[in-house]
Amino acid sequence: MNIALNPVVSDDGCEVAIIGAGPYGLATAAHLRASGIPIRVFGEAMSFWRRNMPNGMKLRSPWVATHIADPHDRYRLDDYFRETGLPTPDLLPVENFIAYGAWFQERVAPDLDTRSVVQVSPHDGGFRLSLDDGGNFFAKRVVIATGLLGHEHRPAEFDGLPRALVSHSCEHSDSECFRERHVAVIGRGQSACEAAALLHEAGAKVEIICRGGLVWNGDPDQRGALRKMTRSVLGNALIPPSQVGPFPYNWLVEAPAFIHHFPERSRDRLNDHCLRATAILWLRSRLQDVPVNEGRRILEARRDGDRIALTLDDGTRRVDHVLLATGYRIDIGKMTILDPRLRGRIARRAGVPILSAGFESSVDGLHFVGSFAVASFGPLLRFIAGAGFAARRITRSVAGKRRAPYAHAGSRLGSYRNQAPPWLGAERERH
């Protein structure tokens, strides 16, 4: 029995193992390594961006909020474009961002281990990482930086339908495969609108179906009176660096350490307000010829031969494919990479881990970053701009400079342990 629970672990080991080599994993690696902490990073550099984002996508974030954080501020987007000699674009193509991420990785984690971690298990006061080639690796601490993949939200109306007819937006990188097909895009945020634009430009017949109306981020006509008045006086000084959420909450979003002290319900309200489904204004002109069926409820979706029949509250229509741009819902219970013994010990609310000031879960030494941390630190952690804050906090915690003990929250979970905060269903805004 002891052998089954604690199999032989290889001699290889380190202080911290980082699982995931996207912006959050790489930023954490850069900060820990700069502090002299032994680390190992597992995964393929920028794999989610490379495999699960559509070709032709443009990042919606401002330039200053799209740098991957380095403690010495050496490897910014400006440095990458200057070194490669590429012209600086007005809107950053995802292909350029992926290349920038790989360039960053070569400088901060040249020893990247591209093997996949298939399971993380407790072992001898730390963790055993089982790898896809049968190897094992030991670490005293683990940082989960695996991102959104595996947490796609699929509305119940589409349960049981084949992926060939109904798929999530993250399952496609090439819109050309839908040329001359009738595609219904479900959703109304950045993901839905950009997917619809790319499909239309690839020659598909596209329509957007959504419960509410489209909200354009950056539209002067949708600014409130207070914002218009303040902007007329202060101009661009009104705009915070990351530009996450509406004014004036976007300034509060810039202070995740402060938000961490909010009561849970207050954080939920802030997340709900700042992570609502919106699309960036520069997409609107690309959707002029794409019909948008707003204010609709989907009552039923069923297979009709090699097509899909959608029953809406205004009638039934048949399409060749349904693309769900319905965002993501983090759920630790879905993470088979975590040994059941670990999953059962992680304090969470509605599937989301509750994290300390050092991004540590209730399992000592197990940290989560990125979207896993939105419930604890606010909307900035859904975006690239939050990676530097997470990396600094984890580095302080691991180095012992500022150890933030986990405060058990059983009494705080109370009646809303299983009550999903409203922002969990919000459509992901691409960043």
Classify the C-alpha dihedral 141-145-150-156 as positive or negative.
positive
CB 298 within 8 A of CB 80: no
* Tokens, residue 204: 């598909």
100 secondary structure, DSSP code: H
Cα angle 155, 161, 165 (rounded to 5 degrees) comes to 100
Given a contact cutoff of 8 angstroms between Cβ atoms, the answer to whether 21 and 44 are in contact is yes
CB 25 within 8 A of CB 145: yes
Q: Mark out the alpha helices in 202-300 (DSSP H runs).
A: 225-234, 249-253, 256-259, 264-274
Domains of the chain: 2-151+328-425 (3.50.50.60), 156-215+279-324 (3.50.50.60)
Backbone angles phi, psi at 399, to 5 degrees: -75, -10
8 A C-beta contact, residue 13 and residue 138: yes
Smallest CA-to-CA distance from 200 within 189, 212, 190, 192 is with 192
- Cβ atoms of residues 51 and 108 within 8 Å: no
Q: What is the pLDDT of residue 10?
A: 45
- Structural contact between residues 410 and 39, judged by C-beta atoms closer than 8 angstroms: no
Which tokens hold the place of 351?
Answer: 């599937």
**SS3 call for 155:** coil
Residues 6+ apart with CB under 8 A from 112: 21, 41, 42, 43, 45, 105
What pLDDT score was predicted for residue 157?
A: 95
Determine if residue 307 is left, alpha or beta; phi over 0 gives left, psi from -120 to 50 gives alpha, anything else beta: beta
**What is the rounded CA–CA span in Å between residue 172 and residue 194?**
13
> What is the sign, positive or negative, of the torsion defined by CA atoms of 59, 60, 64, 69?
negative
pLDDT of residue 400: 85
Task: Give residues with Cβ within 8 angstroms of 165, minimum separation 6.
Answer: 303, 306, 307, 308, 320, 321, 322
Query: What distance separates the 2 farthest-apart alpha carbons in the chain?
Result: 71
Residues of the chain below pLDDT 50: 1-11, 401-431
In DSSP terms, which residues pair with 366 in a beta bridge?
142
Of 210, 211, 183, nearest to 197 by C-alpha is 183
Residue 203 tokens read as 């020659």
